[in-house]
Amino acid sequence: MIKTLGGRKLGVTGSHRRALLRNMATSLFLHEKVETTIAKAKELRPFAERLISRAVRGNHQLVRRDIQDKTVYKKLFDVLAPRYAKRPGGYTRILRLAPRAGDNARRGLIALVS
């Protein structure tokens, strides 16, 4: 019996999807909030939270594999990891915004909790 492993395809190939999530996570950590569609925000949430959890544990190699920007990498370990060290998870929140004017897509704001 074939069962799906979950996850949205977002209308792109697998390599494009991985690049999209890496770039969105980099922007999220740099600006601490990103405005995007709800589907992309729901896919970004576990990806970003996994990276923060790895940074809290001090796992540099697994974080470096996905975060290429040195300033964001440094911020993740120097600022964000100590901020969330005592928090057991749930580092992000998704807020719903008004639909996009051009194509009426559902928009959301994914932000790091303070």
Q: What is the mean pLDDT of each successive set of 10 residues along the chain, which is 114 residues long?
A: 85 96 98 98 98 97 96 98 96 98 97 95
Out of 2.40.110.10, 3.40.50.1100, 3.40.50.450, 3.90.1030.10, which CATH number does the structure's domain 14-112 have?
Answer: 3.90.1030.10
pLDDT at 26: 98
pTM of the model: 0.93
Burial 61-81 (b: 16+ CB within 10 A, else e): eebeebbeeeebbebbbeebb
pLDDT at 4: 79
Give strand pairing partners of 33. 111
pLDDT at 1: 83
Contact by Cβ (8 Å): 58, 42 = no
What's the distance, CA 75 to chain centroid?
15
